Structures are given as structure tokens and as C-alpha cells.
Structure 1
């Protein structure tokens, strides 16, 4: 019998031993709600507080197993070892393929269930190993400077809704099964999109009701009312003075009363602490009162530890036990729906084998999505596709050989990542000429030698041990090996490793380098609090105390054939935790020097853009153009821009592969580059997908889910949440590349669209007028011309169509009466509003044909 089943049977036996019959909550024949109510009635107040925190300890006397509410699956199972890493969400949105997205997240949920089942049978389920997955992020990507925009599905409410619904279907599984496959979570509710630096104290005031209901809330409403999402995560910031996780208006009036949501509300990590900790919102006096405010407002589960003070809040009269019971019943019902209390033999999802994790079928899905999300922005003289001639091509750029860049943020660990350099090399049948040229923001070349380190058992990289104490004593909480440079921080309450605390922990890393030549190496490390560097037994650097964040670089002269034992010790005491470590060769370069390296080739494929190390959640490292994970400028970093200009002036054909999680201003690059391919952060198969597009084995069909602006001057202030002047829906200027834009290696022509109001359908003929098979995305936008305060247009439908060269198809896009929902200025509500409308049908938000109709 499996260990998990033995545990359940023993607990059931224990529970029955005290009485003559099976307790109601242990009876799988009863409904999840009945079981939850019965179990809640048997719990002490302290036990109720325990199960309301994200890491819920087992309560053996009642047969309540350990449970972890916080797991990640942003674009693949995250932070839980081996998994398939799909492209970033913003990239997957560029596919305009919600059918494929649902297949992707069905694969993700298969891997998640299999990993959880294996973990449960080991007898322990910790953070990131559970059945509750805090995704999708359906916030509006209103400003390209927001570092977490890559987690979303773009700047349009309809796109976020449609893609979010696909994610929920894939994660939660069919709705007609006895047990849920997983719980999905719509986040961050609501009006959340940076800045990262002030999110724990920021207050959004005087937001127009129209912006709230027409832009920020529609995707959440659809996921609740149409998608049946089981969780909603409240956001960090305040709205009109109330923290989102303590907002009666958001969590009670809108979410539960108006929308009828009966699932769970979970807090963002650390959000309840923001109620009372110095420098944050300051709306509560202490952890107990903050917890009472959050629970009364409707936040059922806390990611944090404040809720352990709920019994104190009851004693102080700030909340009643009955109010706590409301949340406890909800979360226990969720666990019963997931089969958490029942034997594996009853729960069909536990039969998914571990062999699905990172299997070939899922890798193929990752490749398909990576191909579909590529957006061809520029192709002067049809330079693409390239001929497969390695002698005429050089690969260059800071992202060309970077495997970690492919993963974006909130990632898992792929079995292998195909870099762009590797993908092009495979396509050309062998070695391809390569030079890095520069870093993301500087004219330096850094060649890491971390991969030359070895550790115990001859493994590549450095061994690692973590302790949940500051003395490095006792049995380590976690041990592993890292084969790539170390990059850790606890931004977003992210632990360094499974089972390791957020604060008051230590870590030790060991590796050995055998020098293959005489040279000077740079040892680069960024850390806060305690750090110690020991080489061959000598302590080279040591600051073992509470400390600020520091960037350090030390030179190490090495001799060929000599062995260097390197040890890094780290101690975290409180607050933020950051540790980056690498061993590399670093030197300054000039743009002309880099261009000279390409003198005997015709074409340079420059793989540049930005990096998820710089644009991300609360990043601690600041470089020119970036601040705390957000961007201060949307321009391509100057170092890359100089090299592209030098290559162009040297007469080279230049193909820019831009890797980013957000829009980059590429105005000068329209002159210096012959082609631009937007690759986003394309996942573990990204290198193959880029090569397939560059060399014509795949015809690009991706479309932009965000506006690409010309320069910084076109952006309103970052911290202004009003929609005026933002996104394609309200931007009156001329963009560099508009929402919905994307080129192909063939051409398409649309006929005159026709709207059948009675059937609720739009018909339009689409012809492939070129010489290659391809895919076009027909897009439908809605405008109400007499509404001066409304959006210029707004997406309300799209459909992908595959066409062979010369083929014509009649495309039908659903457009029911409900699609005419619009802001009613008389009632201040979103509703189907009669009047004159324009239906705009086209291949981007600007290349459209219009139908004028009158809605009665």
C-alpha cells in the first residue's frame, strides 16, 4: 500500500476509534461542503488559524494532512525541480491561440499533479509542491515599464480574459469530475501593474469608475463567472485608502455580492504584513488587527504568518470565531474537492504517472508554442528567411548563448534548454561563428567559467547546502547542485530553495576550478547581509553581519593546471535576501572592435534585447534603464544600439532577434537592422523556434499583444493608473508597431466583412495571396463613435486561419449581442448599450475594414 494511503487509513482509524461510526468529514460520499462544515466544527480556534496560512501543518488528531497553498505554474510548473518550461505568458499571448494555450496548461497540470502525488507519497508537501497554483496573472499590462508585465497576456481586457479562461480550463480540468485536478488563481485583484518599488505603500486614488469597470475588472469577472476559477489573489497596493486584501468593496461587494464568487481569496505574499509594518500601508496597529481586518474583508488564506495571531484578535474582540469559520469552511471545502483527505484509489488524477514530467510530448508543445509566439516586426527587402549557409552568418549578442534568459521568471528546471546559438548551429549542420559582443547594458564581454567548476561526484557546477538557522548547524534543510551561475533573491517572498525559510537562514556553496591557462578571472558577487568567500582555505572576503545590498568584484590570477577550491558562505538575517555569484573573464570592448569581428561574413544575427534578471518582480539589481525590476526607459540599451549601428555602417546585413518580456522602443533599429524578430522569452525550446523562423522552416504568424511605442516620450507617468493615453485603446499618437501587428513570409487579403446580427456572426473572406502557406489572425474591434470618453477601439474577437498559398476561406467570428457591452454613461455600469457602433475587422488594430451597425 502506498505511504499516502497508509497515512489516510491510519488517520481514519484514529478518528473512528473515538466513536462508533465514521466521522462525517471522513465520508467521501458526502459533499465537499458537508464534510468541510463538519470538520470545521471539530477544530479549535488555534487549529483554524493554522490551516488559514499558506503552509498548513498537519493536525493528526483530526486526520488533517499537511497542505501547501502556494505553488507556481506561470508558464510551466515553477520552483519545483524538473519541468517543461514554456514561453513567457506575454509571448504565448502573441500566438493568439487560446486552443493551444489550453493544451499547454493541460500539460502543466499533468506535470503538477504527478509531482504532487509523488511528493505526498513521500509524506511531505512543502511550498511549490501543492495543488493550488497561483496563476494566471490577468492584470492589464498598461505600461511597458512594468517588470512583471511579462507574466500577463497583454494590454487588452478581452485578450486577458480569453487567454485566462484557457489557462483555468487547462489547470482545473473538466468541471464534471468528482475531484478537481488543481485549483487555479486569478491575480492580482485588482488594478495592479506597478511600480514594483512602491507596491507595498502605494495608494491609487480618484481612479475613474469607467477605467475600473471597463479596463481593470472585465477579465476577473469573466474568469469568475464564465471560467469558474477557484481562487482569486488580492493585490498589494491600496485603492482609495484600503489595501486590496482588506477592501470590503473589492472582496465583498464586487467579488462575492455582484459576481457571486464562492471560491477562495488568497493574499499576495506578505500583503497582510503591509497593513501594519513600518513604511507600508499603516492601516492596522499590529499583526492581530491586520489579520482581523483581512479576514472580515474576505481574505481566506494568508501567504505569510500573521494569521497565527487570529486567536489574539478574537480575544481582543476584533473578530469573531464565526467570521473565521466562514473562511475555514471555504478552504476545507477546497481541499475536499481536490481529494486531499481521500485515498489515491478514489482520486483519478493521482494516476497520472511521473513520466509525463518533461516528456517529449510536452517538449513538442513547448516548441509549437515558441514558434507561434514569434512576431516578425520588420523585414526590409525580404531578407528573411535566410539561406542556410554557415560561412556567411555570424551570431552575436548578449542573449545568444544565454539559456536562463529563455526561461523568463517564475520558472521550473528544464532537462535541457536550446539557446538561440545552439538552435542556429543545429539548423546549419554544425558550428556557427559566434561572438558575444556586449552585455545587456554595457560594452563589456563577460565569459562565465562557472560551467568549468566541478563538485562532489564530479558533477558540473557547485554543490549547495541550506540551513534554516544562522549557524550552519544540524541537518541541512535542502541540498542540491547548481550548474549555472547563482542568482537568488526573495523578492515576492520567494524562497531560495524548497524547504528553506525566507529569513534567518544560511547557505554554503562549494566548487573546484582547474585552470586551463594562465589568466585573470573576475569573481563577481552581489549580496546582502553575511557573505564569506574562501579560496583554497584562505578567506578572501568576509562581512558576516546585517548589511546592505552590495555589488562586489575581485580579481583572481590563476595558473594553468592549478586547482582552486572555491567556497561561498551566505547568511540572511532579515528583510530582503539577494545572492548572485559567478566566476568569469571580463573585458571592455568597443562597438567598432565588435563590428570588425564580422568583417568576412554577410549577415549578423544579433540576439539582444533585455533580460529577466533586470525586468522582473522586485529585482534588487539596478543597472542603467532599470529600477527594482521595472524599467526607467523602454529604449534598447545604448551598448547594443552602438554595436548595431557599427555593423550597419560596416555594410553588414543585420537581423535583430529581440528577447524581452515587454515592448522595446526600436525606432533607430528600423534603420540599422534589416529585419527584427520579437522572440520574447521563448522557453526551453526557444532556440529551435528562432532558427525555424529565421531560416524559413516555420512561417511566422505571431501578433503583438501590446503596443510598441516609438520612444519614452509617448508614455504617460508610470504611476498614473488612469487609462487616458495608454495602450492602443486610448493612445492617440502613432506607435512604432501597433497592437495586433505581425508580418508573415506570405501576404493575405481580406474581403468585405459582413455582420449577421440575427446569428451573431461576422463573415469575412481571407485569401493567401503569396507563394507560401501561412496563418493569419483575423481580429475584430468595436468602437462607439459618439462616445468621446471611451476607447478608440477595443478587441472583441479573433480567429486564426491556416491557408495554403493561393487559398481562400470564409472565416466566421462569433459576435453575439453580449459583445456590444459598453460603458453606459447614464447608469455608470458596463452593459449592452443600444446605439451606433463600428465593427472593425482586420489583421491588426490599424489595418481594418469597417462595418457600421445600429444596435437596437
Structure 2
């Protein structure tokens, strides 16, 4: 390795000259600027909110940006389906296009702030995505952020997404991707800050590492985020064998490692790994964690002074960080900027919205379609019912941007069938004790008796004078993160007053709630006040202490309602919610169904009950995770009441994870999984329901029948989990999905009946669309290895999504490498073992029999590196 000796300004420890490794011009520039920093300045630059160093011409840069399924938390952006929905597409090329769009919009926002200028949180080009942890258990609330349960599928989708984020020029990436959370991290949320995983060598190598290896070795990700948990007693962010030996030496990683937020502090506070943050920080940076999301690295100043860590170790990390900043062109001083022309007109452009629609369409998974219930005819009267039929939050999911014009399922169906042919009822809450937005059916504008409330929007904070804008909002369910409610207003300073009437659907107790998406790590929150019949029932100054009120309505007469919001902080939107009496909502649903030819029930979960460290503890849910994988009881009661109408019942599941739809599998006429489908979700759903689009998505996770089928949530052992090791009968299997068409397979060809070490195995099969509809088939290749105790039942080793016109045939070719043919022994060693193998090629797992098989043999043994 060559070294460049650079003389710099004195540090707080005396300013001796140091040698910095330099492998590129960016490293040389990085080493030069680092050599001029004082120790205090160096320490400041090792934290995610890195301040400016004016004397060195270094602008402030916050490394924290999110782009899981669209640029997040920085205003308008294209909002794609949640990651689990993208995974259901089984389309790596789509993931590349999605990643390209995300990094393009990141560049647009970065350019708007300007090269050479300060970039605050969420304005940068270092994107902390994708989440490629294995979704090992459906109870994990953050599983929605992943690409599912299979290491091969996750790895291929990750590589596609990373290539899209970073672009084709390693010297000038469009942005830097950060696969996370390295490694063995998938809940429970309640213990994540101090959890120690004692995973076997087999499970580590066979399940938890492959996607990360692909992301680094093939995707060439420029960054990696280390996880909160410990592995065999050592916190991952201080685990030198993982971060140096495996990641850098074995896999050839050249980028930088960032901690999950406050993970270094967790080493002190929850893992008790070291007695203070100076020693925890020293351990983390010495192990290879270059950047701290948090403030624990502030104690590196003391760590160096107390000789816990050498200053040269800080220098190594800083060179990696500043080399990344130079590659990104943050200073704009490298000649022609290949991304300078990317402007804000590309944010949520028509082209990007079209891609969001395509992604939503490809994510749809049809699980049941009895007697051709779908597609619907276009002249039906539909009852649209359910708590997820008309909410923004179940489109956007978590880690999201602000959708400029989100289309809910109710809106999409009304646009297609005509409002006069659609009856609507909310029907139920998401779950017991979980408020949902008050539907338009219960809100009335007092002036013209139309649905909704009259909103007066002011450009001041005291709701005085003439409003800048007056309009009717049919429900109060808004995401205004870093955006103004309307173009006439300042996004940072406005107030709104909504007035009208609340019309209860029945007698009983109603809990009214105002939900504010509170900003975190910021100064100031938005005050809110709610009045009913002139009485102030909620008065909150931003402390979240009085955001609910329970009222008893003795009759169904309208009640005057007034809601006031003062946007004086950095909060991100508002929802006016309720918990209404169950019988009143069910009666409304019955009435809507009575007037319809068929029922579409939008049920499932929401980001209010599954997600990251949520403050929730109600039946079925705790802390963001689930304690029961069944459909919540309130919604189950709704489905059963609707079925009593004897109208065709289509269940549309909107969720971030698998839900045990046992009753629906038996009693519903059709089941469609829509996930959290993004800004175009409503349009995508109606196109599938009407046959304008033939669904072709496949499940990226197993749908189990019951929580009782699962091993303990806290166990990271893979035995009994996911399709590879689960020996029971699933409700719906990994890889499953129906079509409006039918696909048939011809006998496959295998290039070598006896595999030779070092060669790729080529296999192909012809697939034919025998149906009347053009559509997509996901061709899946599963390997059954020689019988050994540790081998998975089946292992996905190839897949391709292909579009076929009615009657069209196509030969689909796969080339399987030694790694795809390999297996892992109990000690975690990977090799291609001798013996007889079987390949299955079809549109599902082998048990469904919808495909063809081929056999080959391996003579001899080939060991593979980790």
C-alpha cells in the first residue's frame, strides 16, 4: 500500500506529522484536509451531524438521509410501495429503477441547497437504505422495511437497489447506499438496544450474512450500518472480526461504517460493554465503526487523551469519510458535475409517478380468486369498506417522504366506477384501542352539508385576519412534513382552523383524538386545540399530555366541531381521529353493503401498530411488534358481518407483514395483498380489481396460520422458521401468487448432468401463457441438496419475472454459480458437496407442483470463501 506523508496544523496533542493510506485522488484530498484538523475538529467530524470548519472550507454536513422507498423526511418525494411490497414484485430490475429515482431526487434536493453549502439532516447524499435484515418472524414490526425472509431474494433485490442508488460511476456516485443493519438484527423492538444474539455458525453463514455479502461484493455499497445488538457478547459496532476481518478483508469492502443511531451509547447504557462512552467509542472506532449516528463519539476527545485509542485510528476513519464526501462532489470542485442538471422539477415528476404506479402494480399478490370473482365488471355498484380504505398513512408506511397527491383506494375506485356507484363505510378501527382518522361520512361542512370540514388557512400563528386560503377538507389526515398545506403558505409558519359538524353514526361513547407526527430531536412542537359544541376538549401545547377526549353522544344529531393547529414547531402533519362504537360502525358497513353488488373490504394493519419502537400496548401489539399474527378482532368482526350479506366479498390486505387470514381464506371470494402501496396505491388496486392489470406478484414471506406455529420471537435460531426450515403447513407459502391467466412449463434442460468444480451450471425451461390474459409470471428456481441434517427443505437459487402475452411462450435461462449450489455445514463452512441434486423450476415452491424438475450430480467437493 502506498502512503502519502502530509504535514498539517498542530492538533491538541502536539501536531505530529502522520502517514495516511491513499488509494485514490479522493483519498489524497481527504488525507490532506484531515491532516489540517485539530483533534477537537476531528472528533466533531466523526459524528453524523458534522459541523462546518470554516477555516478549512469544510461545510456542515449531516450524514443522515433516508431513502427506503423514496427520499424520506424532507418534503415532497415520490413515495414507492414499502420495501416489503417492492420485494413482492420479485423484480430486481424494478428495484434498480426505484433506486435510481430515489438518488435522482436526493440529488435534486442536494443541488437545491447548493454544492459547497451546509446540508442539514435529510438533505445529503448518504442514504441509510436498504434494510436487508432477514424477516425471520412476522411479529417483527420493522419487517416491513425488508425484502422478506429469503437470503437469496433479499440479496438480489439489494444489489439492484444499491446499483440504482449509486449509479454506474464509482468515482462519482449519484448517492451512497447504506445496507443495514449489519448483522443479525430483526427484533424484538423492546429489547433491541441491549439484545445479545447467540446465533449458530450455521445460521449466521446460511441465513444472516448472504444478503450483506452480495450487497458488498456485487453491489459495491459505499457504506454499511452496524446494528444495535451484540453478537456472542460483543456489540456489533465494536466487533472487529465482523467489521474488519469479514467485511473489509474477506469481502473487500472499501467504504465507511456508520453506527445505528445511538448504538455506541447503547454499548455503555444497555450492553454494559464498557463503563463510559469514552471507552465504548474507542472500542467502536478501533473495530471499524467510522461514523457515529449520535453524540457518543464526542467522548473520543477524552479517549485519545486517556490513551484508550490512538489519534491515527481517528485519522483512518476520517479519511474514509472525507473520501466519500469528495467522491460525491460535495464541494463542487472536481470539474464538470455529472449531476448538476438535476433540478427540483424531477422530484415526483410524471415519469417518477408512473414508476411508482408500476411498482405498486407489480407488488400486488393475488392469494385467492374463487369462481372468477375478479376481475370485476365495470358496471357494478361497489361497497368500499374498511379502516384502510381511505387513509394516507397506509399508503406511505414508515420512513417515507411526503406524497404530493396520494390516491387512496376509495379515491381510486370512485374515479374508476363513479362516486354514484360507490358506497363507503369505515366499518371498524384497526384494532382495539387504536384510533383511526374520522371518515368523511361523519364530518359535515355546516355551510353546504357536504362531507368534510371547512378549513381556514392563515399565514400567521394567531388565526387572525383574512385567511390566505379557504377550502373544504373531506377528512383531516395530512402529511405536511417539510411542506406547506398549500402554495400560498410558508411551510414553517402557518395556522389552520377547521369548522363544521361531527355526525355520530350511533349512540355511545366516542374517543376523539388528535394525532400529530411529532418531529424528534428538534426544538418546538405544534399546539393543537379541539372544541366540540363550543367546549374545549383537547388543549395541547406540544407535550402530548392531553391528545384524547371521550364523549358520550346520546343521539345521532350533529355536533359543532372546531379544530385549530398552530404550526410553530417542526412537526409533520395532523390527523383528526376517533374510536367509535363498534356496533354503530358495523351497522354503517351493513348499510353500505346492502346497496352494493359486491364488497371490497380494505383491512390489515397500519404504521400506527407495526413499526419502530412504537408506544403502543393493546391486544395483539406491543412496542411496534405483534404478539398475535391474526387479523385484529375488530376487523375480523367486520368481515364476518359483511359476509352475512351474501354479496361477493373481496378482501384487500394492506399491511407490512403477513397476517393470518384463516377465516378469509375459507369464506372470502377473493384475497388481494396490496401491502403499503405508496402514493399511487389506490390507482394500482383498482386496476387489478378491474383487470386492467393482471397481478403477478409473489409472497416474499410465509403466511403462517397462527402465532402458535412460530418458535419464540427472541430466538434467532432458524429451525422451524421461514419456508426453508418450517415443516408445517403454511396458510400461504413463500413464493405463492395467482394470476388471471395460467402458465405451463416444459421439461427443463441442464447443461451438465455432472457438475464440475469451477463451472457454472446452466439450466433453462420454457414457460407458456395458456390463459386469455397477458400477464407476468415469476419463474422460480429451487435447489434440493443432498440430504443432510442442516440443509434447508428448499433453497431459492434463481428467479425472473417475465411478461407473456396470451398464448406466448418463452425460454428462460439461468446460470447458477458455485455459491448458488453450495450448502453450509454446522461449523459455518460453505462448500459445494458431492451427491445428487434436484432443481425445480416453476411459478411457486415445489409442493404446488406448478413446474418441472431436473436432476444433476456433483462429483468431488469445492470449498468456498465466506
Q: TM-score band, normalised by the shorter chain?
A: 0.7 to 0.9
Partner residue of 1:253?
A: 245
Distance change (3 Å), C-alpha of 1:294 and 1:455: farther
Most deviating of 78-87 and 792-801:
792-801
Match of 2:370 among 373, 380, 397: 380
Most deviating of 691-700 and 350-359:
350-359
TM-superposition CA deviations, 1:688-736 (whole Å, max 9, x none): 1100000111011001111111111111111100000000000001111
Partner residue of 1:283?
A: 273
SS in 2 for 1:454: strand
Match of 2:177 among 184, 207, 213: 184
Partner residue of 1:639?
A: 634
- Aligned pair 1:598/2:587, yes or no? no
- The 5 A counterparts of 1:87-126 are 87-120=81-114, 123-126=117-120
Q: Tell me the CA shift for residue 647 of structure 1.
A: 1.9
Q: How many correspondences in the alignment?
A: 787
Q: Normalised by the size of structure 1, how large is the TM-score?
A: 0.86
CA contact (8 A) 1:533 1:568 kept: yes
Match of 2:288 among 290, 298, 305: 298
SS in 2 for 1:433: strand
Most deviating of 256-265 and 757-766:
757-766
Distance change (3 Å), C-alpha of 1:482 and 1:517: closer
Q: Tell me the CA shift for residue 571 of structure 1.
A: 10
CA contact (8 A) 1:76 1:412 kept: yes
- Aligned pair 1:716/2:711, yes or no? yes
Match of 1:423 among 409, 412, 427: 412
- Aligned pair 1:352/2:317, yes or no? no
TM-superposition CA deviations, 1:559-617 (whole Å, max 9, x none): 98978463579999xxxx99976365844426466324422322100011111121111
CA contact (8 A) 1:75 1:89 kept: yes
Most deviating of 104-113 and 676-685:
104-113
CA contact (8 A) 2:116 2:332 kept: no
Match of 2:228 among 236, 242, 253: 236
Distance change (3 Å), C-alpha of 1:345 and 1:425: farther
Distance change (3 Å), C-alpha of 1:102 and 1:644: same
CA contact (8 A) 2:762 2:813 kept: yes
CA distance in 1, matches of 2:409, 2:307: 61
Match of 2:497 among 512, 525, 528: 512
TM-superposition CA deviations, 1:776-803 (whole Å, max 9, x none): 1110011213212211111110112222
CA distance in 1, matches of 2:293, 2:686: 42
Distance change (3 Å), C-alpha of 1:229 and 1:629: same
CA contact (8 A) 2:406 2:679 kept: yes
Q: Normalised by the size of structure 2, how large is the TM-score?
A: 0.85
CA distance in 2, matches of 1:769, 1:372: 20
TM-superposition CA deviations, 1:375-415 (whole Å, max 9, x none): 00000111110111243x21111111112211111000111
Q: Tell me the CA shift for residue 257 of structure 1.
A: 2.2
TM-superposition CA deviations, 1:793-834 (whole Å, max 9, x none): 111101122222222222212223342121145x74123333
CA contact (8 A) 1:533 1:539 kept: no
- The 5 A counterparts of 1:303-702 are 303-343=293-333, 346-391=336-381, 393-431=382-420, 432-442=422-432, 447=438, 452=453, 454-457=455-458, 484-485=476-477, 510-516=495-501, 523-525=512-514, 534=529, 552-555=548-551, 564=562, 566=564, 582=576, 586-589=580-583, 591=586, 594-702=589-697
SS in 2 for 1:276: helix
Partner residue of 1:76?
A: 70
- Aligned pair 1:154/2:142, yes or no? no
CA distance in 1, matches of 2:665, 2:453: 39
CA distance in 1, matches of 2:804, 2:240: 51
Match of 1:143 among 104, 129, 137: 137
Distance change (3 Å), C-alpha of 1:265 and 1:35: same
CA distance in 2, matches of 1:425, 1:541: 34
Distance change (3 Å), C-alpha of 1:122 and 1:607: farther
- Aligned pair 1:195/2:191, yes or no? no
CA distance in 2, matches of 1:378, 1:424: 20
Partner residue of 1:792?
A: 793
Partner residue of 1:820?
A: 821
CA distance in 2, matches of 1:578, 1:805: 47
- Aligned pair 1:226/2:200, yes or no? no
CA distance in 2, matches of 1:32, 1:339: 10
Match of 1:127 among 110, 121, 129: 121
SS in 2 for 1:116: helix
Partner residue of 1:850?
A: 853
Q: Tell me the CA shift for residue 482 of structure 1.
A: 15
CA distance in 1, matches of 2:681, 2:262: 34
CA distance in 2, matches of 1:462, 1:586: 32
CA distance in 2, matches of 1:599, 1:518: 21
SS in 1 for 2:263: coil
Q: Tell me the CA shift for residue 309 of structure 1.
A: 1.5
Partner residue of 1:470?
A: none
- Aligned pair 1:738/2:729, yes or no? no
Q: CA RMSD in A?
A: 3.4
Most deviating of 111-120 and 838-847:
838-847
CA distance in 1, matches of 2:593, 2:81: 31
CA contact (8 A) 1:445 1:589 kept: no
SS in 2 for 1:795: strand
Distance change (3 Å), C-alpha of 1:535 and 1:796: closer
Distance change (3 Å), C-alpha of 1:124 and 1:37: closer
SS in 1 for 2:750: strand
SS in 1 for 2:799: strand
Distance change (3 Å), C-alpha of 1:237 and 1:484: farther
CA contact (8 A) 1:610 1:659 kept: yes
Distance change (3 Å), C-alpha of 1:748 and 1:148: same
TM-superposition CA deviations, 1:191-230 (whole Å, max 9, x none): 000001110111112x110100110001111111111101
Gaps of 5+ in 1: 1-14, 16-24, 464-480, 489-495, 499-506
Most deviating of 530-539 and 51-60:
530-539
Q: Tell me the CA shift for residue 453 of structure 1.
A: 6.0
Q: Tell me the CA shift for residue 532 of structure 1.
A: 6.8
Distance change (3 Å), C-alpha of 1:759 and 1:261: closer
Match of 1:66 among 55, 60, 70: 60
Distance change (3 Å), C-alpha of 1:446 and 1:253: closer
CA distance in 1, matches of 2:780, 2:462: 50
Partner residue of 2:699?
A: 704
CA contact (8 A) 1:173 1:180 kept: yes
Distance change (3 Å), C-alpha of 1:562 and 1:123: farther
Q: Tell me the CA shift for residue 164 of structure 1.
A: 0.2
CA contact (8 A) 2:514 2:575 kept: yes
CA distance in 1, matches of 2:857, 2:24: 52
CA contact (8 A) 1:533 1:540 kept: no
Partner residue of 1:776?
A: 777
